Amino acid sequence: MTLVAGLGNLELFSFLMGLSGPIFWVVQTFVGSPYGRHASASFGPPLPVKLAWSLQELPSLLVPLYVVTCTPAKHFSHWPNRILLAMFVFHYLQRALIFPFLIRGGKPVPLFIFLSAFLFCTFNGFLQSQYLSNYAEYSDNWIKDPRFIIGCAIWLMGMLINVYSDNILRNLRKPGETGYKIPRGGLFEYVTAANFSGEVIEWYGYALACWSLEGIAFALFTTFNLCVRAKYHHRLHVDTIFNNCFLTFRDPGSSPSIPLLSPRQQVIII
């Protein structure tokens, strides 16, 4: 039995995913982003962080493998389609099989958050791979198109920023140190959540290279989802700096409308 969705359904799914981004942003603004440093027991029993991260991201690897091998995949023989799907899969190869096992410590992941991430990765893995394998029609010359070249370059830059920023976060504390620390170096000198910024950049590059509704819907959803989390990081950074008298803010309790800006830049966004 093969699972195939028509192009019309894929476009509808993409529209709904893009539309759900602002809705998730509003909901998380009031409910919070309860995982990692903001984890909350009210969202279900905790799961081991390494296992949860690996399993919740794994569908974005396994579903494309299923689509390529168990559906007609009539366009997967073209190099643009292969490269674009490889970009998607390569990101999740790092997120599912490398990143989780480099985590040092880390707070458990609430069951509800794990299930939400698992379902999203399953849905989005199918959406992207089904489109690129069965419906995306690119000429072989697409790999020479400026949109493809620039998009791939932006994707690579974003992924490198994301991986490098994660490495900075892992090495914030020396052995035996505890307490909250504000990261320094790389893009953290300019933004609060450089790892999130890198991922957002990455998926806009992917969307440009794909030049598809499916790609831009994913990029938009990622933006809204990670901006909420970055806002909470920003607030925590501001509170930490303010409480330790590093800087004086006019209104430390205010929420920045651009939450990715670094509080170290002494910029207050109202």
Encoded tokens for 139 = 């000429």
d(CA 126, CA 119): 11
* H or E segment to which residue 242 belongs: helix 213-243
Taking residues 3-18, report their average pLDDT.
Answer: 87
Per the CB < 8 A criterion, the answer to whether 160 and 183 are in contact is no
270 found inside a domain: no
252 found inside a domain: yes
Residue 46 bridge partners (DSSP) = 110
136 found inside a domain: yes
Determine what percent of the chain is predicted with pLDDT higher than 70. 77
Which DSSP string do the residues of 93-155 spell out, in sequence order? HHHHHTGGGG--S-PPEEHHHHHHHHHHHHHHHHHHHHIIIII----GGGGGSHHHHHHHHHH
Q: Higher pLDDT residue, 72 or 31?
A: 72
Taking residues 11-34, report their average pLDDT.
Answer: 85
- What pLDDT score was predicted for residue 35? 54
Question: Is the pLDDT reported for residue 62 higher than 60?
Answer: yes
1 found inside a domain: no
Taking residues 76-86, report their average pLDDT.
Answer: 98
241 found inside a domain: yes
2 found inside a domain: no
Q: Higher pLDDT residue, 86 or 252?
A: 86
What's the pLDDT band for 105 if we cut at 50, 70, 90? Answer: confident
200 found inside a domain: yes
Q: Considering its fold, how many domains does the chain have in total?
A: 1
Taking residues 86-102, report their average pLDDT.
Answer: 97
- What is the residue range of 184's domain? 7-265
165 found inside a domain: yes
d(CA 46, CA 39): 9
- What pLDDT score was predicted for residue 86? 98
pLDDT tens digits along 121-180 = 999 999 999 999 999 999 999 999 999 999 999 999 999 999 999 999 898 877 666 666
CA angle 230/233/239 to nearest 5° reads 145
| Across 47-56, 119-128, 146-155, 188-197, least confident range | 188-197
- What pLDDT score was predicted for residue 259? 42
Rounded to whole angstroms, the maximal C-alpha distance in the chain is 63
- What pLDDT score was predicted for residue 29? 76
CA proximity to 131, closest of 64, 69, 79, 220: 64
